[in-house]
A = this chain, B = another copy of it.
Amino acid sequence: MAHVTVEWSANLASDFDLGALLRLIAETMRERADGTFPVGGIRVRGLRTDSYVIADGANPNDGFIDLRVLMGAGRSAEFRRSFFDSLFAEVRDHLGDLFDRRPVALSMYVEEAEGWKHNSIHRRLATTKAI
């Protein structure tokens, strides 16, 4: 499984395409991780933040985009470094010149954990493939 939450400051609403960013992250996990992330376990979501103080609090144009990843334990350190370096570069490149147009802090954190799960999306995917 892999959960990604993209939290972002509301003042960026007109400056990037949240849906496109979420789709890019999910696609990268599906297609560029050698199958490490089972498709049915991918859940990428956006969380808009309306109240914030950034840096010195002096510039209403300062914005942030913060990715938090939670994935199952057991992937090697090499995989994690390589895959998330690539994912972060993809996100940064996708945002393009946003960092030049205004002050923006992009960040990403990755955490591993075991948990409990019950998931009927895998069955839907199997059915979809069979058609």
Interface residues on A, range: 35 or more
Check if A12 is an interface residue, CB within 8 A of chain B.
no
Give CA–CA (A78, B54) in the complex, Å: 26
Check if A33 is an interface residue, CB within 8 A of chain B.
no
Residue of B nearest to A42 (CB): B55
Judging by beta carbons under 8 Å apart, are A128 and B19 in contact?
Answer: no
Q: What 1/0 mask marks residues of chain A from 74 to 97 whose CB sits below 8 Å from any chain B CB?
A: 000000000011001000100000
Judging by beta carbons under 8 Å apart, are A56 and B3 in contact?
Answer: no
Judging by beta carbons under 8 Å apart, are B66 and A51 in contact?
Answer: no
Give CA–CA (A54, B59) in the complex, Å: 35
Judging by beta carbons under 8 Å apart, are B118 and A41 in contact?
Answer: no
Task: Name 30 interchain pairs, CB-CB below 8 A, sorted by A.
Answer: A7-B45, A18-B51, A19-B51, A22-B53, A25-B53, A27-B57, A39-B55, A41-B55, A42-B53, A44-B53, A45-B51, A46-B49, A46-B52, A47-B49, A48-B51, A55-B121, A56-B125, A62-B124, A84-B116, A88-B116, A92-B118, A99-B118, A103-B121, A104-B119, A104-B120, A106-B118, A106-B119, A107-B118, A109-B116, A111-B113
